[in-house]
Amino acid sequence: MLYIGIDLHGTLFPDDETFDPALVGPLTDALRAVKEKAHLYVCTGNDLLFVQRKLPKEIYSLFDGFILETGCTYSDGEKEDVLVDKSTVGKIKAIEERLKTMAFPEVYKFARRLASIAMFTRYGESVQDFWKKICVVMEEIDPESEFDVIYSSVAVDVRPKRFSKITGLRRIAGQNKTAGIADSMNDIELLTGCDYGFMPKNADNSTHLTSALKSAGKKIVTLSEVMRPRTILQADKDNTAGVIDILNKISESG
């Protein structure tokens, strides 16, 4: 059985966090079809409350579980389980309080998190530039390098090392084959660590991601190519529309 992890921002829906109403039905159909041969998991940097608010009920109910906070927590859809040890959680909370005192003008909110830190950037701010800034700050705050600084299309996150979307997915999948569908730099481990990787077209907007995938030995090809390891298949449509095509590709593949 295949275990599929799907990112949210920039993948399952656009960065504005809304679904095109015309695509909800086709997406629901595609998810139902692929469930005949796969288990489905949301893989996101967000928490459970966010996922519950943003996913329509008919879509939410089709997922087997939710890998949250880039692998730091997990949910079966009802409660959140923290996968990080209490000592490390204490450290991340102390770092979060210190970052809050710095009053970064780029940040419009620190999102609710149980075992990581999420700083959402203001509209018009460069997430990549802010990520570089936080990397420098964290070199002072975290001299033992216990934490990673990563970014998506909308936020910069700080998480404990050894935790990522792929570690969360593999924790569930065991020895089964895995597939990742994602678009951003905070998805790099998911895309490189899964047996099969997929991206919507808008992932082209992240030159860092493309370079990182190539450096990891991945070849980016069109969705018409055959699914195989070390290859990232990319749809020719953005976000939700691209995910629908990707799910249909998986359903049709042997």
Domain ranges in the chain with CATH number 3.30.70? 86-160
Residue among 196, 200, 204, 203 at smallest CA distance from 250: 196
Could you read off the pLDDT tens digit of each residue along the chain, which spans 254 residues?
999 999 999 999 998 899 999 999 999 999 999 999 999 999 999 999 999 999 999 999 999 999 999 999 999 999 999 999 999 999 999 999 999 999 999 999 999 999 999 999 999 999 999 999 999 999 999 999 999 999 988 899 999 999 999 999 999 999 999 999 999 988 999 999 999 999 999 997 766 888 889 899 999 999 999 999 889 999 999 999 999 999 999 999 86
The architecture (CATH level 2) of 2-80+165-252 comes to 3-Layer(aba) Sandwich (3.40)
* Complete edge-to-edge strand list for the sheet that includes strand 65-68: 80-82, 73-75, 65-68, 38-43, 2-6, 178-181, 196-199, 231-234, 219-222
Statement: 86-160 belongs to CATH 2.60.40: no
pTM value > 0.85: yes
Domain ranges in the chain with CATH number 3.40.50.1000? 2-80+165-252
